[in-house]
Structure 1
Amino acid sequence: MQGKQISRQMTSADWYRSLKADADSYFQAFTAYRKRTDRHKNTLQMFSDAVPSLIIDNKDNNDKSVFEYLGVGCGAGLSDLTLLRQLRRRFPSIKATMVEPSSKFLEEFNQNRANIPNDLDDVTFDCRQATFDEYQQSCEGARFDCVCGISVLEYVEDIDRMISWMYSALKENGSLVLFFTSENNVLLKFWTHSDQRDIHLIKPSLVEKLLEKHNVRKIDRLELDSTINITECFEETSEAGSRLLDFVTHAASFRRSAPTEILREVLDYLSRNSVRKDDGIYAPNNYTCLVVQK
């Protein structure tokens, strides 16, 4: 089956129920994924070390005004909070607007924020439960020193429009941070292979091309290497493995709902695109980060 698409386009099948449209199932599936990948640990390292310096270097050191930050699709917010802790060392006052459609992720965000010691005492948070489109319609004229979108481009119908809006929402000398799946990420490979229409193929070259028409001053490209332990996906009775399969396929209750043929093809695809080690089966889970200067 090498090179063939998963049979019966998943998003048009009778059994298919979109994970994207089921907030509770998505939260559970993402939680299973988060526990089985080192992506988040590596992302926090990147957002603690490399990303803050690129943003700070773009600002005037004499500027003492309030630093305006927008986090789009912030989720549980650990990456945004890590970045804000570093920015707080340079900017004495920060206002952070956090936008996230899931109430459960916003609850996690507030818990994570409460667990951070004094580093964020002078950061004012405005947390809004809203989609990108809902927020865009409500914030006409808002401008930010930094706009950060972590794993949001994959879920947007019109990538060009979103990138254009995020860039236009920057102040002069502002920074746009975009973090998304790289081309050799097994998730993106699978979503493309299975004609998964809930997710969009995002190539760094495409994003850079869309940005070029805005005459951006500078783009720094960072690459993040990580893996997912998908061992439990092959264990029929593993509830965690089933949740992880939901995230991989973006189909709610995939193991129970999908026809046997499709389940077998998906597991075969994952097996062929992973590496077996002594402690489990691992698939590539790499990401690209672009830091764009206006």
Structure 2
Amino acid sequence: MTMRSLLSDNSRYIESFHVFLKNSTEHQCMLEFIQKTLPGIISSIGDGKSPLNVLSIGGGSGEIDLQILKQIRATYPAAAIHNEVIEPNGEQIRCYQEHVAKTSGLENITFTWHQETSLEYESRMKSSKEMKKLNFIHMIQMLYYVKDVPATIGFFHSLLEPGAKILIMILSGNSGWARLWKKYGPRLRLNALCLFILAPYIEEILNEAGLKYQSYELPSHMDITDCFTEGNKNGELLLDFLTETCNFSKTAPLDLKAEIVEDLKKPEYSEMRGGRYFFNNTLTAIVIQS
């Protein structure tokens, strides 16, 4: 068996992603931001408009999207809201639709799903010459899968109404991922569709473009203790997710595997508490103004 990208096996990717979510506080830190900080951010996007047009890029299975929509609904109770979703994975769209069907508090919100990438959406909009303006756009943990990040941000920024905003959530430059990718990225870069990018890179793009933005650190961690038990299934799936490599434990050269596993225990990557290792999974939320 040879090393190959985790993205080449959709079922393995979904399985490892679910283990990651179970072991991390990623969704919890996002939800805290959405509940405590987002209301102030979106307080200026409406300005009496109805409907409010929201675009989710890489909406996944919709759990975070629906929490964002509930905050917009609470801020603008009288406005109709249209939520448009761009998501290339059909299985994720089906899960999203199931979540919508089971979720209360979404009255007066309509949904449209597009099974396509952000680049396909951009091409379709440009060819149709019907680029409607948007009140709120969010990109949650998806810019790793975009080939031209500056062009993507520039295009979607051009769709903003006056007072509208873009929310980007991406891994922090202070996270354990930053150190892992810097040291091992060249040995793990297995798929051109997955870029090892972090918040400072996005901020650099915004600075060069002269766009106004504000950044928020969202502390998060992931319990990776199982990674250090040989043959532990959850540990193997977490290593797959950390390295973006399908069956990393079985296909990586022994020296590479040993190096990474040893490094993951170090303080610059993880904190040890109560005999368990917690990997630094800190995110950054970046809010871009129109």
Question: TM-score when scaled to structure 2?
Answer: 0.89
Aligned partner of 1:167: which letter? H
Q: What is the identity percentage for the equivalent residue pairs of Structure 1 and Structure 2?
A: 27
Aligned with residue 74 of structure 1, among 44, 54, 59: 59
Q: Does 1:111 align with 2:106?
A: no
Aligned with residue 253 of structure 2, among 250, 253, 259: 259
Q: Does 1:182 align with 2:178?
A: no
2:49 is aligned to: 64
1:75–1:106 contact (8 Å) kept in structure 2: yes
Whole-angstrom distance in 1 between the partners of 2:179 and 2:153: 23
Whole-angstrom distance in 2 between the partners of 1:279 and 1:105: 35
Whole-angstrom distance in 2 between the partners of 1:187 and 1:208: 17
Whole-angstrom distance in 2 between the partners of 1:129 and 1:279: 43
1:4 is aligned to: none
Instruction: Return structure 1 stretches of 4+ with deviation > 4 angstroms.
Output: none
Question: TM-score when scaled to structure 1?
Answer: 0.88
Judging changes above 3 Å, is the alpha-carbon distance between structure 1 residues 112 and 279 closer, same or farther for their aligned structure 2 residues? farther
1:164 is aligned to: 154
Aligned partner of 2:147: which letter? E
Q: Does 1:233 align with 2:227?
A: yes
* SS of alignment partner, residue 97 of structure 1: strand
Q: Does 1:211 align with 2:211?
A: no
Aligned with residue 214 of structure 2, among 194, 214, 220: 220
Shift of residue 201 of structure 1? 4.1
Q: What root-mean-square deviation, in Å, do the aligned CA atoms of Structure 1 and Structure 2 show? A: 1.8
* SS of alignment partner, residue 7 of structure 2: coil
Whole-angstrom distance in 1 between the partners of 2:51 and 2:277: 47
- Residues 75-100 of structure 1 show CA distances to partners (whole Å, capped at 9, x for unaligned) of 12222111110101233210001111
Shift of residue 279 of structure 1? 5.0
2:112 is aligned to: 126
2:83 is aligned to: 96
Q: How many residues align?
A: 277
Shift of residue 214 of structure 1? 4.5
Whole-angstrom distance in 2 between the partners of 1:58 and 1:259: 51
2:45–2:135 contact (8 Å) kept in structure 1: no
Whole-angstrom distance in 1 between the partners of 2:146 and 2:68: 24
Shift of residue 149 of structure 1? 0.2
* SS of alignment partner, residue 120 of structure 1: coil
Judging changes above 3 Å, is the alpha-carbon distance between structure 1 residues 128 and 279 closer, same or farther for their aligned structure 2 residues? farther
Shift of residue 155 of structure 1? 2.3
Shift of residue 57 of structure 1? 2.7
2:29 is aligned to: 42
1:245 is aligned to: 239
Whole-angstrom distance in 2 between the partners of 1:18 and 1:120: 37
